[in-house]
Amino acid sequence: MSSFAPRCGVLHAERTPLDLVAAAHGTPLYVYSRGAIEHHYGELVSALSAVEHLVCYSVKANPTGAVLRLLAERGSGCDVVSGGELARALRAGFPPDRIVFSGVGKTEDEIAAALEARILCLNVESEPELRAVSRVATARGLVAPVALRVNPDIAAGSHAYVETGKAGDKFGVPWEDAPRLYRLARGLPGLLPRGVDLHLGSQILRAEPYALAAARVAELVGALRADGFGIDLVDLGGGLGISCGEEPPLTAPRYAAAVLPAVAGLGARLIVEPGRFVVGRGGVLLTRVLYLKDVPGRRYVVVDAAMNDLIRPALYGAWHPILPVRPRPGRTACCDVVGPVCESGDFLGRDRELPPLREGDLLAVLDAGAYGSSMASNYNSRLRPAEVLVEGDRHGLVRRRETLDDLLRLEVE
Ligand code: LLP
């Protein structure tokens, strides 16, 4: 399903023409489709319906309040990795008992905030962190529900920057250390070891690594139960990839078919932490052509969005489809779509065949709902884009564009 498709020659979000949204709110502009986000969340829920499960949407993919609220209303849980994300999640209405807290470097303040909120589980990544959680919990007279994030040493085949499940990565505890650390956790005051957690990485397009991970986790759960642990949460992390270029995406049914055989019989609650799968295809970045610039051997389309607004092409070489909102008839030409930032790495797309363009034309950068606005910065002192949520033929601002006052507001003179 694509909620961003042309109708009568104009690219729409659901039933709303994107040129109309840009005219109302300016560019660069993130536009999200409520229908698309709900659809992709729902695909995962139905694919996992054979087992007791909780989809914990990974807030880092897109932490905008309106996106969080709509998922919380659908019954989603969430995965947070900082005190800031925890605050956003609670404010958006996620019940604490549907929140898990991941991350390799939680501070004691963050641990305390999570415990005081009574979240479902802390995914702990090292022995010193186990001791810190124990300290913080006992100082408050609380019991901390914990899972250990184990590193299964599985290559997921994604970009090196977002692979997290191989031995030697900074994430999780080494697989062979897990039994010892669970026993340690049992002996430390203030801890309730109740889960096993892992996360292989991000933008994973094959199902096999998940099948392997699920099988390994099932084995570990069996061994821990035999050792007397009441493991009732199995968290397989996130990472489900969406289509990028030629490769087909990982579908929810293929994912479910890979993991369910191993975990269905455990009688534990299955947690998954998708971010990109839920929101990635649900957002576009709208940008206007500023200049067409021809240099020997290359045509540059200089647009008003840049690497500070969407860093994925610059950082990971990520491929996002780019479409004109109102394509003009005529021959296509090969172009580099670049932003105004003073770096040659500032591109949104290279070597793209685009129809004839003029200054002022609108382009849509697709699949920008995940890790787009959430990774935006003020680099080059650019103001971060506004964000709009579309529902059918209606659209509303959900985050206003930054102003110069916003830019300067933290300076101390
Ligand atoms: N759970 C944990 C513990 C994670 O670290 C992540 C992502 C997720 C879940 C969600 O992963 P997803 O389902 O969205 O792939 N900025 C990169 C992606 C970084 C992912 C970091 N961790 C990008 O733009 O591709």
Enumerate the domain spans of the chain.
4-32+280-408, 34-277
Q: How far is the CA of 413 from the centre of ligand 1 (A)?
A: 38
Give, using CA atoms, the residue closest to atom 20 of ligand 1: 202
Mean pLDDT within 307-324 = 97
Task: Find the residues whose C-beta lies inside 6 A of ligand 1.
Answer: 58, 60-61, 79, 102, 162, 199, 202-203, 237-240, 273-277, 312, 316, 370-371
pLDDT for 210 equals 97
Catalytic residues: 342
pLDDT for 118 equals 98
User: Residue 163: is its pLDDT beyond 80?
Assistant: no
Mean pLDDT within 145-174 = 87
Q: How far is the CA of 354 from the centre of ligand 1 (A)?
A: 31
| In the chain, % of residues over pLDDT 70 | 100
User: Residue 244: is its pLDDT beyond 80?
Assistant: no
Could you tell me the fold of the domain covering 4-32+280-408?
Lyase, Ornithine Decarboxylase; Chain A, domain 1 (2.40.37)
pLDDT for 157 equals 77
The minimum-distance atom of ligand 1 relative to the CA of 241 is: 15
- Ligand 1 test: best mutation among 67, 273, 373, 375, most atoms within 8 Å of CB? 273
| In the chain, % of residues over pLDDT 90 | 93
Q: pTM of the predicted model, to two decimals?
A: 0.97
pLDDT in tens, 87-114: 999 999 999 999 999 999 999 999 999 9
Kindly indicate the confidence band of residue 1, based on its pLDDT and cuts at 50, 70 and 90.
low
Q: SS3 letters for the chain? A: CCCEEEECCEEEECCEEHHHHHHHHCCCEEEEEHHHHHHHHHHHHHHCCCCCEEEEEEHHHCCCHHHHHHHHHHCCEEEECCHHHHHHHHHHCCCHHHEEECCCCCCHHHHHHHHHHCCCEEEECCHHHHHHHHHHHHHCCCCEEEEEEEECCCCCCCCHHHECCCCCCCCCEEHHHHHHHHHHHHHCCCEEEEEEECCCECCECCCHHHHHHHHHHHHHHHHHHHCCCCCCEEECCCCECCCECCECCCCHHHHHHHHHHHHHHHCCEEEECCCHHHHHHHEEEEEEEEEEEEECCEEEEEECCCCCCCCHHHHHCCCCCEEECCCCCCCCEEEEEECCCCCCCCEEEEEEEECCCCCCCEEEECCCCCCCHHHCCCHHHCCCCEEEEEECCEEEEEECCCCHHHHHCCCCC
pLDDT in tens, 331-354: 999 999 999 999 999 999 999 999
User: Residue 257: is its pLDDT beyond 80?
Assistant: yes
pLDDT in tens, 348-404: 999 999 999 999 999 999 999 999 999 999 999 999 999 999 999 999 999 999 999
pLDDT for 243 equals 84
- Ligand 1 test: best mutation among 40, 54, 58, 129, most atoms within 8 Å of CB? 58
Mean pLDDT of the chain: 96
pLDDT in tens, 218-235: 999 999 999 999 999 999
Q: How far is the CA of 272 from the centre of ligand 1 (A)?
A: 12
Kindly indicate the confidence band of residue 162, based on its pLDDT and cuts at 50, 70 and 90.
confident
Homologous superfamily, domain 34-277: Alanine racemase (3.20.20.10)
For residue 202 the two structure tokens come to 């991000």
Mean pLDDT within 35-56 = 98
